[in-house]
Structure 1
């Protein structure tokens, strides 16, 4: 019996044009009627995710910034920030990289330095609440995640420079142009484990959907771990299951309907 469903946003629940499936709200209400807990697990910050799910924000768990911050009904279940020395190190490493723009993510605000238009067009899709500063290494706030917007492609351009730190930090290729850095214990997988522990839900009672490399450990925490049909090859290889439909054809909702025998 499924008791917890955790869903990634971009490339999974959302279409490429960032739209929810048309019957999402109806299906969500039916999940709540069945006492199934819903978690939205994303690399996005809390303010951005909450704005999308305002209608049901008091009912769902928000797994934000790749698991660095978990919130439910205004209660903080988990906060796992980076230390100041690490932030400075990673920002300094990004300086010489061409077309790479760092973003510091706090609980309620993003900090950026550069207002390059191409970067802004990408970043401001996800960071509506932001502040431009002169020097990111001097920001005084609780920083949950560093996101590098890599306009040349994160997997081939910036990731090779940060790969060396994977033993001590979570370095996640979070999208074609995004590389996310979090504390060594922060991940979507650990966030899901925290929710499971709080609600006394077993992995075999958990259904998860994801499409990219930052979803890998979350998928492994679920008895029903689904890679999207459109997922990164490494996710398709690692997941137990794959959706029949991709994100643009509402593969998440299609699978939920089939597994739980729900009609919209």
Structure 2
């Protein structure tokens, strides 16, 4: 059951906020729209129907695989825009808007680096499938939360199909154990700490902000008509596009610093609170 709430406006920096011009809502998934149990609230789906009636477009933007995102939002999947794989893939109502692949030579370079790092689990992320090795049953179980479609290979170096991202998992901490090994690639690639356990590597143009710019152009959306929610570093570029950028209370310090506004945590209906204000402003 959705809990009744009151918001202290001054605390959350809303004094001058006017949401009446918003035409598009964009939200990250994990740590933002999804609670800590990786679930979408029933309240959100109810609010979505009100957004739809007011002709406000909704975009789910995630490091997750496209299929995983639409599985979480199955009830509304035909009415939403999806930015998946941290901007490597974008689809509007099922129509492909953008695919930004990672060159095969780059894939091999990254895999070679990771072969020298202990306790990391790389995932090759294609447009429709993900690919892993069979070295960890525990990791494969963890993967299923984020990747609905995946295949197990003997060797990732032998895969020569198109990928849009390499996602790398560490059970303890991605910022401490993965990022120091790959940050030197940032001059040529996107290297993003995308969660407490994940680092994502993709093409320089494959980020949520770049993909969102394409979506905005497709739908004639201006910055003052855009409302964006995020919690981690892979959200920074898309938050920077919106006049109404919201950091979750549980966000990474860089996100809290960049965002123009703050809201409650993903476990305290941070997104839903603002959507309700948006709907009431219309």
Q: Same fold (TM over 0.5)?
A: yes
Q: How does 1:217-236 map to 2 (within 5 A)?
A: 217-236=237-256
CA drift of 1:213 comes to 0.6
Deviations 1:164-216 (A, max 9, x none): 11121110001111000110001000111111101111011100000001001
Deviations 1:3-49 (A, max 9, x none): 11100000000100111122111111110111111000000001111
How many residue pairs get matched? Answer: 262
Q: Which residue of 1 aligns with 2:105?
A: 85
- TM-score of the aligned structures, taking structure 2 as reference length: 0.90
Q: Which residue of 2 aligns with 1:123?
A: 143
Q: How does 1:67-106 map to 2 (within 5 A)?
A: 67-106=87-126
Larger Rg: 2
Verify the 8 A CA contact 2:65 2:148 in the aligned structure 1: no
Verify the 8 A CA contact 1:45 1:127 in the aligned structure 2: yes
**Structure 2 Cα separation of the partners of residues 109 and 83 of structure 1:** 17
- TM-score of the aligned structures, taking structure 1 as reference length: 0.96
1:48 aligns with 2:68: yes
Deviations 1:87-131 (A, max 9, x none): 000011101211101000111111001341331232121112111
1:252 aligns with 2:262: no
Q: Which residue of 2 aligns with 1:20?
A: 40
Q: Runs in 1 of length 4+ with deviation above 3 angstroms?
A: none
- Structure 1 residues not aligned, in runs of 5+: none
Verify the 8 A CA contact 2:51 2:279 in the aligned structure 1: no
For residue 193 of structure 1, the aligned residue among 196, 213, 216 is 213
- Structure 2 residues not aligned, in runs of 5+: 1-20
SS at structure 2 position matched to 1:132: strand
**Structure 1 Cα separation of the partners of residues 134 and 96 of structure 2:** 31
Verify the 8 A CA contact 1:101 1:150 in the aligned structure 2: yes
CA drift of 1:221 comes to 0.8
- State the Cα RMSD in Å: 1.3
